[in-house]
Amino acid sequence: MSTGDIVTIPTLKFHLTLFVRTYGDEDGLSFDFEAEDLYAAGDKVLEISRRISECPGVMYWKILSVVRVRTADRQ
């Protein structure tokens, strides 16, 4: 395969904010992630939700926001 055969897929950027309550503590978590499209972003958010639910000590959590981040070079 030559480098001329490599196809790059543009990704969308997202910002996820969560609220998490554990025994004796509560805090907001926030981070950025990338996905190929809106469906892939939804799948990633579902996977994050599943993993948080499985964390020992997590009593309560909720998604506060999922926002698509628009960059200057991509409209």
- Taking only the tens place, the pLDDT of each residue in 10-40 is 789 999 999 999 988 999 999 999 999 999 9
Residue 16 · residue 47 · CB < 8 Å: no
Cα 15 to Cα 3, 24, 25, 26, 29: the distances in Å are: 32, 27, 23, 20, 11
* pTM check: above 0.85: no
